[in-house]
Structure 1
Amino acid sequence: MIFIIWLVVGGVLGWLASLVMKTDAEQGMILNVIVGIVGAFLGGWLLSPLFGTGTINSDDFSLTSLLVSFLGAVILLAIVNLFRRGKAR
């Protein structure tokens, strides 16, 4: 059951990050889930020590863990945009 919640929350966070980075028209539902989950890993690696919390990948569904996972997804999309377009947007 946790796996399904993890996929749904990852999809929502990936979709919100794609709206912020204006890449929503280029992405589908599957890519939003991937961006949300990989972004949560990235956020856990980069931002968790700063905020002192876990991410959605560590079964920590608090507001700060959702924020860290969301910021990780935004950073991931910025990196992808930087390599694809030459600017983070």
Structure 2
Amino acid sequence: MALPVDALTLGDALVKYESHFCVRISVHIDAGDAEEKFGEKYFRYVDEATGANQLVDIHVFRGNAELCPKQKLDFALESADIVEIGPLVC
């Protein structure tokens, strides 16, 4: 679901998204997962109403470039950036 927001960083954008859609998005840290399997790339997405949760990947589209900020919540956003939150496909 799309949500236009003014945000200086990825973390700021996620806080606004969480508040609007009543979800919780946090960096995925799980000691049981091997570093080579998930590393420091994915996020845990929890729907507060249903409790449903899944791992998601977040990418930033800037012009013709697709950027993967990984778990860098301080990743600087530009005004025309599009932040995409999507389920893992593989």
Q: TM-score, normalised by structure 2?
A: 0.30
Pick the structure with more helix per residue.
1
Pick the structure with more strand per residue.
2
Q: TM-score, normalised by structure 1?
A: 0.30
